Structure 1
Amino acid sequence: MGGQQSRQKHVALDDPESKYVIPQNTHKIKGLSRYMSAKADHDRIVATRGWDKHDENMQSMQMLKGLFKNLDPTVMKAVGDIRGDIQLSFKYDFKRQLLLIKVIRCRELPSKDWRSKMSDPYVMVRLLPDTNRQGEKKTRVVQQCNNPTYNEIFAFQLDELELMDMKLLVQVLDKDIISRDDVIGEVIIDMNTFKFKENPVHTAWYMLNKETDLSITGEIDITVAFQMPQSLFVTIHRATGLAARDEGNASDPFVKLTIPGTSVLYQTQVLKKTLNPEWEETFEFPIALEELEDRFIIFHVVDEDVSSSNDSLGQAIVDLKDFDPDRGMHGSYKLADLRNTERIRSKWFQRITAEEFSEALYAHSMSKQPSFIFQNQRTGKRVNCIVSS
């Protein structure tokens, strides 16, 4: 493998663990958020007097406010509009072979109606796979409420063996009488995690995630090899059975791959109009032998779209915990929508936060607002950002 010449497309990333370590102070960050809210109110008043800088200042203030909320989980635990929790209770009736699901309540749901700052939420539950065609079941709609209570029970007929292979899809939706109902968030629960014979009733809160793309199909075929002193070679051979995203029942796939903890992101070539692409491209990661057991590889298959944003064709995670450096490894891994897994969320969140931080600093260096965060040097040209620890 050492003599093999690798074809690489390298995209450099700033390492968030080394360059963007932001010390957090909950008290000062909350104080900063309160100040920025007051500043935003002031800007609205000023805007009525005809100041052209109003829109620019408001956007800058909101950018920085959102940034600090993301940096401190005590201020906001979720990124973007996906937040909130749902409380569910589960029981299995062995005599009647019924899975009983109680939808109790939701809390801290985001607002979908910008005028009322509220939503009209309801909950939908469905078994996956729905082999018995029992369909989806829905709660009532609670009007204008971000903390709705339901206390509704639904029953699914299935035997004990079927139960172990089932997943439960739980979606919280916002009712819209004009267009398609919006998905506020969802959670997918493996039924095999419950031990109903040992504990008849399971009740818990579940954090809502982004909507999962259940249309993803296919597998990715890869080989991993190690060469001393610190070269990990990852070869992407092919993918098979990908989902079609373009007209003509095809896609234009390429693969992004990274190993969290490294500062690089690789990408294969884009292959046009195929659901079974073959790349045969090899990439090298600088990783020491003793670090392998703590590493994993993230593969993301993407459909290129030149007219709009690219579409995801699925992800796969390959854990190197049991990787044998002498023998290497080769295998096919099933693709799925893994955006809500802790590994991918933490990696993508770190990178996005670092990018947002850089953009926020640039925006505020231009407007020099808020004034107590940015101070001019004596030369009047350079700008410092003051972040207290």
Structure 2
Amino acid sequence: MADSVRVLISLLRVPDDVSISEAHSSPMLASRNGSKSATPSPVAPGSRRGPGSVSSQDWSSVNADDDIDRLVVMHQTRSSLSSLGLRSDSMASVYSGAGEGRYGTVTVRGQVEFGLQYNYKARALEILIKQCKDLAPVDVKRNRSDPYVKVYLLPDKSKSGKRKTKVKKHTLNPVFEETLKFHISLNGLETRTLWLTVWHSDMFGRNDFLGEVMMTLENKVFDDPTPMWYNLQERTEPFDDMLSFKGDIIVCLKFVPPDMTVHKKGKRSRGTLHVLVKEAKSLTAVKANGTSDPFCKSYLLPDKGRSSKQKTPVAKRTVNPVWNYTFVYDDVTLQELAERCLELTVWDHDRLASNEFLGGVRFSLGTGKHYGKPVDWMDATGKELTLWKSMLERPNFWVEGCLSLRPSLDTRTS
């Protein structure tokens, strides 16, 4: 059998620079906030060796059937890999845009063992992923899968809100012993739902769903970190189409009517819009230390000029900034404000590169028109619309609201 393997290798002519890298199947636990596993993951029985170039003498020490299968797959995908100009350590990127994975390819079964505790000193939720047992096999012939665990704190399903364990090869009973960390305040957890999923890692295609556990964290008491077993369930709800959660912003609005005694540059003021940006909560952490340096920027559309743009100071190293900063727009009337839009955007300040958009809101009457002409920025809905309408209906009176930040706007360079 060893001789036949060598013959197949020579026929397929695997180039020397192609290596079977397992980096794709062992995603680092750290996300953008740099959190890592607190406990090194033990090597699961039957796991393969680390990355290395394929040579004929390597194959003599491994299962011949497995190696033939892998060589055939490599040969089939070799042309597509080379056409993309990929190196051996980037094989996983071939399907990086393929989405979360596939559902319904296997019947969910098995259990997962994990524990929760809140680290008050680090202000972080720590999830100890112990192990899984009796998982469904994706490779039915060999009765095995290549499982890993992924966790989100919904409704945040952004890339920075994802945590993953390493992949365990060729087992239905993987032992992980890894700690996943989310830097979030205890109060912030009140509105979150733990979404833990188990997946089979596929080198050349989309990963396969092996089960999930959903757990609301509202009123959760983190007094017992002892890991417990939970039954894996079929997928309960399609979250792929769900907008990414970007946090909340608390804003107060007030229109001050014209004061006959107030003059500016010889002209009587026609009215003033006051915008008090109080704070934001649960923003996306984009820094390596699990925080951001957020600031809020304002435009009174359609004016995009310098006279319309106003900014808060930058709040350092936080995802829950408190600004209590007021923007003032002079010489505007109620009639004009009914045709205009207040746009607030939140950004992470970066001294060395472009600032990163964290979310935004738009206040208007949501008519889609500016003096009868269709525009895309008069698109307020929900609380954005009702708060703006309340401000117009109650001059000289503060109205306050807590609004969810939109994950995208027609953003401009900050």
Higher share of residues assigned helix:
1
Please tell me the TM-score bracket, short chain as reference. Answer: 0.3 to 0.5
Q: Per chain length, whose mean CA-contact separation is higher, i.e. which structure has more relative contact order (CA < 8 Å, sep 6+)?
A: 1
State TM-score, norm by structure 2. 0.36
